[in-house]
Structure 1
Amino acid sequence: MTTEEYKAQFNEDEAVGWLAIDKPLEQLYPNQEPQHYAPNLHFIAGGTEPLDGISVYKSDKQEPHFHYVTYGFSDLYYNPEQAGKDFSKYGFELTFRLKKKSDDDNVTWACNLMQNLAKYVFKSGKWFEEYHVIPANGPIRLDYDTDIVAVAFVLDPELGEIDTPNGHVQFLQMVGLTSAEFDAFKTNPTLGETEKIINLLRDGNTLLITDLDRKTSVL
Structure 2
Amino acid sequence: MSQEEVEATGWDAINEQMNRLYGEQEPKHYGTLIPYGLGGKDPLRGISAYKAEKPYPHWHFVTYGFSELYAKESSDPEYSGYGFELTLRLVRAADEEEPPAWALNLLQNMARYVFSSGNIFASGHYLDANGPICLGADTKLTALAFTDDPELPAIDTLNGRVEFLQMVGITADELEAMTTWNTNAFLHAAEEELPYYITDLLRDSLLLVPGIKDALRTGIERDGSSTGFFYVDQLEWEPGKSRLFGKAPAVLTMGAKQAEMVAKLLSARLSKGKELALISQKLRVILEPSPETVFGEEEQTVRIGLSEAAVRELSAILQPIEGEYKLSSGKGLIVRVNKTYIKDQDGQVVETIG
Q: TM-score, normalised to structure 1's length?
A: 0.87
Q: Tell me which of 135, 143, 147 is aligned to 1:142.
A: 135
Q: Tell me which of 104, 121, 124 is aligned to 2:117.
A: 124
Counterpart position of 1:97? 89
Structure 2 residue ranges without an equivalent (≥5): 208-212, 214-354
SS at 2:169 equivalent:
strand
Q: How many residues matched? A: 206
Counterpart position of 2:3? 11
CA distance in 2, matches of 1:73, 1:155: 15
CA distance in 2, matches of 1:150, 1:39: 26
Counterpart position of 2:194? 205
Counterpart position of 1:3? none
Counterpart position of 1:54? 47
Note if contact 1:54-1:71 (Cα within 8 Å) is conserved in structure 2. Answer: yes
Counterpart position of 2:34? 41
Note if contact 1:34-1:55 (Cα within 8 Å) is conserved in structure 2. Answer: yes
The one-letter code sitting in structure 2 at the alignment partner of 1:200 is A
CA distance in 1, matches of 2:74, 2:112: 22
Structure 1 residue ranges without an equivalent (≥5): 1-8
Q: CA RMSD in A?
A: 1.9
Offset, 1:62: 0.4
Q: TM-score, normalised to structure 2's length?
A: 0.55
CA distance in 1, matches of 2:168, 2:128: 12
Instruction: State yes or no: 1:169 paired with 2:162.
Output: yes
SS at 1:202 equivalent:
coil
Higher strand share: 2
CA distance in 2, matches of 1:66, 1:19: 21
Distance 1:160-1:198 versus aligned 2 partners, 3 A rule:
same
Note if contact 1:82-1:167 (Cα within 8 Å) is conserved in structure 2. Answer: no
Distance 1:215-1:154 versus aligned 2 partners, 3 A rule:
same
Counterpart position of 1:4? none
SS at 1:134 equivalent:
strand
CA distance in 1, matches of 2:35, 2:175: 34
Note if contact 2:57-2:94 (Cα within 8 Å) is conserved in structure 1. Answer: no
Note if contact 1:10-1:78 (Cα within 8 Å) is conserved in structure 2. Answer: no
Counterpart position of 1:194? 183
CA distance in 2, matches of 1:126, 1:135: 15
Counterpart position of 1:71? 64
CA distance in 1, matches of 2:69, 2:173: 38
The one-letter code sitting in structure 2 at the alignment partner of 1:92 is F
Instruction: State yes or no: 1:153 paired with 2:146.
Output: yes
Note if contact 1:67-1:96 (Cα within 8 Å) is conserved in structure 2. Answer: yes
Q: Which moved more, 1:36-45 or 1:159-168?
A: 36-45
CA distance in 1, matches of 2:117, 2:74: 21
CA distance in 2, matches of 1:130, 1:217: 20
Offset, 1:195: 2.2
Distance 1:20-1:106 versus aligned 2 partners, 3 A rule:
closer
The one-letter code sitting in structure 2 at the alignment partner of 1:211 is D
CA distance in 2, matches of 1:91, 1:48: 22
CA distance in 2, matches of 1:162, 1:146: 34
CA distance in 2, matches of 1:125, 1:96: 21
Offset, 1:82: 5.2
TM-superposition CA deviations, 1:35-81 (whole Å, max 9, x none): 011223211221011000000000001010000000000000022x5
The one-letter code sitting in structure 1 at the alignment partner of 2:182 is E
CA distance in 2, matches of 1:84, 1:183: 35
CA distance in 2, matches of 1:195, 1:159: 16
Bigger Rg over Cα: 2
